Amino acid sequence: MTRDKINGRRLVGLFLLGMLLFNFPLLSLFNRPILVLGIPVLYLYLFAVWSLIILLILIISSSKPETQLPDHRG
């Protein structure tokens, strides 16, 4: 399996994780009238998750795409 396919699968998984993290049930957990350092918890959560997803995209896409991994088919 090539590195491109692995990176593609990781990006799809990251997309699904982002959809889960930005969906209703988790957002409702952080929709409280609480301030952390003067910032509402919901805004802090949204910014933190958004930053984390961007960082993970950067890590996934910066790996070397040209290396061939061994195929372990039986």
Q: pTM above 0.75?
A: yes
The pLDDT score that the predictor gives to residue 68 is 64
Q: What percent of the chain has pLDDT over 90?
A: 72
Residue 4 in contact with residue 67, Cβ under 8 Å? no
Give the 3-state DSSP-derived string for the chain, with helices as H, strands as E and coil as C: CEHHHHHHHHHHHHHHHHHHHCCHHHHHHHCCCCEECCEEHHHHHHHHHHHHHHHHHHHHHCCCCCCECCCCCC
pLDDT at 3: 83
Mean pLDDT value across residues 6-18: 95
Average confidence score pLDDT of the chain: 89
What digits encode the pLDDT tens for the residues 19-53?
999 999 999 999 999 999 999 999 999 999 999 99
